[in-house]
Amino acid sequence: MSENRWWRGAVIYQIYPRSFQDSNGDGVGDLPGIIERLDYVAGLGVDAIWVSPFFKSPMADFGYDVSDYRAVDPMFGTLADFDRLVAEAHRRGLKVMIDQVMSHTSAEHQWFLESRESRENPKSDWYVWADPREDGSPPNNWQSIFGGPAWRWEPRRRQYYLHNFLDSQPDLNFHNPEVPAAMLENLKFWLRRGIDGVRLDAINFCFHDRLLRDNPAKPEDERTGRGFSPDNPYAYQYHWYNNTQPENLAFIEQVRRVLDDYPNVVALGEISSEDSLATMAEYVGEGRLHMAYSFELLTEEYRAAHIRDTVDALERQMPHGWPCWTISNHDVARVVTRWGGQDASPRLATLLSAMVCSLRGSVCVYQGEELGLPEAGVPYEALRDPFGIAFWPNFKGRDGCRTPMPWRDSPDGGFSTGTPWLPVPPEHLRLAVSHQDADPRSPLNGFRRFLRWRHEQPALRWGEIRFLTLPEPVLAFTRQLNGQTVLAAFNLGSKPQRVALPLRGDLHALEEHGLDPGRLESGTLILPGHGALFASVS
């Protein structure tokens, strides 16, 4: 691929800075800590890092509530530290992507502090304000993702303001042209500092329905999804009017025009809508986002058919766009627990990483995924996530996937010389980097070997994809590029599988990929539990 398409087929390593490495002993990870660990990251074989928010923030939602878009929060360091991070990453051949949180700000942002004071001030129309109904209730039935009405009363204006997330995260009014213009200027600030890409948080939430129409009710049997179980009223509605409005397309085209002034910079959109695959297909392409990802593979549904049907559906809707896939991030339970249960085999971690890195598209992997970290059990008294505190015990929130990286087997995991902001669970210490480095069969070394091997397989990085229909729990597909065809087959289960392979041609197994290898016998595919087979097809 040419340099201006470095992101196609790239493996992007997400760093949650609070939990990666603490350099000053305050118990919170920081930018200098990330710099300390860049050799480790580069040694994984990934292409880029995505650093979750490090901007100035009161940390009600741990950085996704921004109070100053152009400042580094002091707990993470300084702008000079960020510039050094970019330079040191580039020196190691790593691209740098950062979050841009555009749909909302912190309630402590200066814009909101001014906007809430009156209905006449210069920022009065920068947020979504609405009069109450005659009985004083909110203007419509919209619900917040974090539970309860998406409106909060502001006595200074005697109006409600919209918050699709926490009530300390007021939504900006993108219908006011000054707002998108200001957000684009904030984006340029970071582009001028040499970043290689942006991950656009909740990018389909920028615009709301001008008429503030009620969302229709959702039938009980459809109230499912990422953290939106029936105990969360957010699940009770079709979210047709509080996000994914037609006007948003023009805005993402503005974003793309800004990015096009900075060579080789990529935009990755996070999409969560009623039909996320359709929205991805609409948002990605010429003049719009370079790529996008959604939450279809971040749910608890773990079947070969689900993965196959999800990827196939997007391929049909977005034949000329470029997807991005992820099976873990800072918002969902860690994948080996979510898909493998509490007693998942360490080999499952390597298999799942290889599987997602073999799909057509780019890939985001979340820190600790390469170690096979399970979801941490965080006791209620140690919870920090407001989402989990509100919905305990039915939903324990996101702290279980945000605990600090275990670098060595010590009480603090080598993360901090102080008290970590979240406890390091004992079960993670057994999977510390220091242990896994020395074990050639560890998930960490399996991850490294697979990415090194994948780098030498152009078809796996850029080729077209075609699925084979095989019985559960086997997932199989071919990747084809410039006459090279590679078969990829994965046993998602723990027991050995034998299946007839409906594929013509001569197959020659490809080795050294870091997984428990399967084999072929007279047209039969034989896979060990959590094993895989890669073969060239001629």
**pLDDT tens column, 78-110:** 999 999 999 999 999 999 999 999 999 999 999
Rounded CA gap, 2 and 9, in Å?
A: 12
Tens of pLDDT, residue by residue over 123-177, are 999 999 999 999 999 999 999 999 999 999 999 999 999 999 999 999 999 999 9
- 225 pLDDT band, cuts 50/70/90, is low
What SS3 state is found at 99? Answer: strand
Mean pLDDT of 468-485: 96
The answer to whether 247 is a known catalytic residue is no
With beta carbons less than 8 A apart as the criterion, state whether 110 and 170 touch.
no
What's the DSSP call for residue 18? G
With beta carbons less than 8 A apart as the criterion, state whether 409 and 433 touch.
no
Mean pLDDT of 463-476: 97
With beta carbons less than 8 A apart as the criterion, state whether 292 and 284 touch.
yes
The answer to whether 81 is a known catalytic residue is no
Residues facing residue 217 across a β-bridge? 237
The CATH class that applies to domain 463-537 reads mainly beta
With beta carbons less than 8 A apart as the criterion, state whether 32 and 346 touch.
no
Question: Cα torsion at 519, 481, 271, 82 (round to 10°)?
Answer: 100
Token pair, residue 270, equals 């996070």
Token pair, residue 257, equals 């025009």
Rounded CA gap, 58 and 64, in Å?
A: 10
Average pLDDT along the chain: 95
* CA atoms within 13 Å, Cβ hemisphere of 406: 28
Tens of pLDDT, residue by residue over 351-409, are 999 999 999 999 999 999 999 999 999 999 999 999 999 999 988 999 999 999 999 99
pLDDT at 223: 86
Query: Could you identify the residue written with the tokens 């087997």?
Result: 409
Rounded CA gap, 89 and 177, in Å?
A: 36
pLDDT above 60: residue 207: yes
pLDDT above 90: residue 190: yes
With beta carbons less than 8 A apart as the criterion, state whether 50 and 14 touch.
yes
- Give me the sheet containing 532-537, strands edge to edge: 464-468, 474-481, 484-491, 532-537, 507-510
Helix (H) or strand (E) run with residue 499 in it: strand 497-500
Per-residue three-class SS string for 426-455:
HHHHCCCHHHHHCCCCCHHHHHHHHHHHHH
pLDDT above 90: residue 513: no
pLDDT above 90: residue 447: yes
pLDDT at 485: 95
- 226 pLDDT band, cuts 50/70/90, is low
Helix (H) or strand (E) run with residue 340 in it: helix 335-340
Rounded CA gap, 52 and 199, in Å?
A: 9
Rounded CA gap, 363 and 301, in Å?
A: 19
Token pair, residue 223, equals 């109230």
Mean pLDDT of 23-45: 98
DSSP 123-154: TTTSB-EEPPPTTS--SS--B-TTSSBSEEEE
- The alpha carbon dihedral of 34, 36, 37, 39 has a sign of positive
What's the DSSP call for residue 66? -
pLDDT above 60: residue 1: no
Rounded CA gap, 247 and 312, in Å?
A: 28
Domains of the chain, residue spans: 3-105+177-205+266-452, 463-537
Among the listed residues 240, 239, 218, 241, the one whose alpha carbon sits nearest the alpha carbon of residue 230: 218
| CA 435 from centroid of its chain's CA atoms | 27
pLDDT at 356: 98
Query: Could you identify the residue written with the tokens 């603490």?
Result: 22
Q: Which CATH superfamily is domain 3-105+177-205+266-452 in?
A: Glycosidases (3.20.20.80)
pLDDT at 522: 85
With beta carbons less than 8 A apart as the criterion, state whether 57 and 106 touch.
yes
Per-residue three-class SS string for 175-188:
CCCHHHHHHHHHHH
Helix (H) or strand (E) run with residue 490 in it: strand 484-491
pLDDT at 504: 77
Which of 171, 201, 296, 375 is catalytic? The answer is 201
Query: Could you identify the residue written with the tokens 């000079």?
Result: 80
Which of 209, 270, 385, 412 is catalytic? The answer is 270
| CA 471 from centroid of its chain's CA atoms | 29
pLDDT above 80: residue 3: no
Tens of pLDDT, residue by residue over 11-26, are 999 999 999 999 999 9
